[in-house]
Structure 1
Amino acid sequence: MVREMISSVVFFISEHSFHLTNKFKLRFPRRASCAQCHSPSSFQRRTLLRFLFAFPLITSVGSHSVLGRPEGVNKPNLLPKEKKLVIDLEHYLTSGQLKSLERQIEDLERRSGFKLRVLTQRYPDTPGLAIKDYWQLDSRSVVMVADFFGNSGNLLKFNVGSDLDGLLPPRYWSLLSSKYGNKFFVEQYGEDRAILDAADNIFSCILQKGCATP
């Protein structure tokens, strides 16, 4: 029975535990911390959510979360045959924006070893678990999912590997989602700007060795 809930769409990718953030966080063992970041609370450290990609729904009202599970969906046929760093199933981005974003993602990975991947979808049309092997996701990966699933009013969710915990704490992802994914921002500037501005913030914060807030 749902008592206090946190607004998110989240997923579990194989043995790697990830957290999607719409006010939510993936937990892995921490390796290092940055001077600018605050450590998560003991509650956050104890909280480990494992989910199936893009189906569980969590809605929020407080510090505890309860998972509601619709039927799972897994459609690997939605993945492009060629390798793409950005999979724009909803066609939010122009071809020029896609190319520019992929170049920035490649540059981030080359300079930092961290990788960002972007997926736009509309549940239940989701690749599901197939995304894990397709992108070879690991603890140094961030997946940005643009999907209004769950009627949360927030477009952006983030799946974050544990190796980023020392650079970007849980609060960062929650605020990033709220800043660029909220319906007012999206209505005024569009889904493309929400995705691109959030990505720019991630690039900047990783390359400057950490941010406590966006």
Structure 2
Amino acid sequence: MLRWSMRPYDGTYAALAGLEAWPEALDRLTRARAAGVNRLPRTRGAAADAAASGADWRLPLAVLSDAADTAGAPAPAAFRWVGAGARVAAWARGWHWHVALQNYEASLEHLPDRERVCKQLIRGCSHKEQGWSEVLKMLDAMYDAELRPDGEVYEACAFACAAAKEWAWAVQLYEELLFNNLRASPSLEALALDAQARLTGDASQPSALMESKGLG
């Protein structure tokens, strides 16, 4: 009977992951296990996906590890794609950049939502010291896959370039955002003005925003 009750579990977890409701997802996962429902790779993947959105970065990794341990012998093939996005996002949020990138590259053909994973990875790597070249590679990968970067992606890339004093790239990313009819945040507009001033040699007084970001 439990075999026929799995599909509603999968659908419920997919909905919770979409809402990023990780506490409820984990609570339901606990109750499902108590009811004897263990072989649910999609359910655990969705639960890990939800956990990656707002919990400690180690939590989705723990959910996926538990899933691999309890799903039975055929699990490895099934788990190659389940939760792949959550795994990449978790490593990125934990500032384990090289592991995040390695997981991303190894999971490319198994990622069900590559666009969202790319965005998460770009936002994560943008906080890495000297991570500007990596975020630009990820941006190129999005273009190659015909995925659409949003305003947050362009902003993350621009700030990463500004942190490395790659002012020309920061200005170009701002211009690309406008070219794609996306709205720039006040923070990005201020950064673009300062970056342009630095390129023209008129940046004797960095703005308060730039100083607060450690870019002065």
Q: Same fold (TM over 0.5)?
A: no
Structure number with the bigger relative contact order (C-alpha 8 A, sep ≥ 6) is 1
Give me the TM-score of the superposition, normalised by structure 1. 0.23
Larger radius of gyration: 2
Give me the TM-score of the superposition, normalised by structure 2. 0.23
More strand by share: 1
